[in-house]
Structure 1
Amino acid sequence: MTSYAIGHLHDVRMNADIVAYLEGIDATLEPYGGRFVLHGGEKQDLEGHFAGDLIVIAFPDRDAARGWYASPAYQALLPLRTRNARGAVFLVDGVDEDHRATDILETPA
């Protein structure tokens, strides 16, 4: 099942470190089948207010997503971002194409 690395970043200081991070991240994704689904972009608030940038990277499965994040190549780049941005980063598994909202009612707590 597709797994997503999601980052909600804010207070990003655009500088040489961030540029180097952006220039290097694509090569770290390739061995794990990762691809950007969202990378910032203009938002239109419909309810409430969302501050910052949303980044979503899709991977074939949770193992691939974990492998990418833990990889030496990504770990070498990571400080370039963490020194220059705040936020949360986490993994979330997707749902099947036939998923319906009520499916979560059938999942044991």
Structure 2
Amino acid sequence: MAKGYWIARVDVHNEEGYKPYTVANPAIFNKFGGRFIVRGGKFEGIEGQSRARNVVIEFPDYETALACYHSPEYQENIKRRLPHSVADLIIVEGFDGPQP
């Protein structure tokens, strides 16, 4: 079964205000089997527009990734993030077919 992924790009304009959001996330992600694949780190924007932070979170499957996002816990946590950042987030199903 293909895994599910959150791919987020974030610009934070108030670090102190953003911290409660990041502190609450691990418990939410753990509940849904999520784990960080990418969390910040060096990057080079090669094409298109980029944001200051890049995050990839892996979930057991696409449906679980969606369920985490729509969960009451995460929806409440979003309220902590919104005043302090701008984000682009997609949820995508991983590839589970043959590799070249």
1:32-76 Cα offsets, whole Å, 9 max, x none, are 11011111111145x347442111100011111111111111111
Residue of structure 1 equivalent to 2:98:
98
Aligned-pair Cα RMSD in Å: 1.8
CA distance in 1, matches of 2:33, 2:54: 20
Residue of structure 2 equivalent to 1:25:
25
- Give the drift of 1:97: 6.2
CA distance in 1, matches of 2:73, 2:17: 15
Q: Which runs of 4+ in 1 moved over 6 A?
A: none
- Give the drift of 1:18: 0.9
Which structure shows the higher strand fraction?
Answer: 2
CA distance in 2, matches of 1:19, 1:51: 18
Superposition TM-score, scaled by structure 2 size: 0.85
Counterparts in 2 of 1:27-66, with a 5 A limit?
27-45=27-45, 47-48=46-47, 50-66=50-66
What secondary structure sits across from 1:83 in the alignment? helix
5+ residue gaps in structure 2?
none
Is 2:6 the counterpart of 1:5?
A: yes
Percent identical: 27
CA distance in 1, matches of 2:24, 2:78: 10
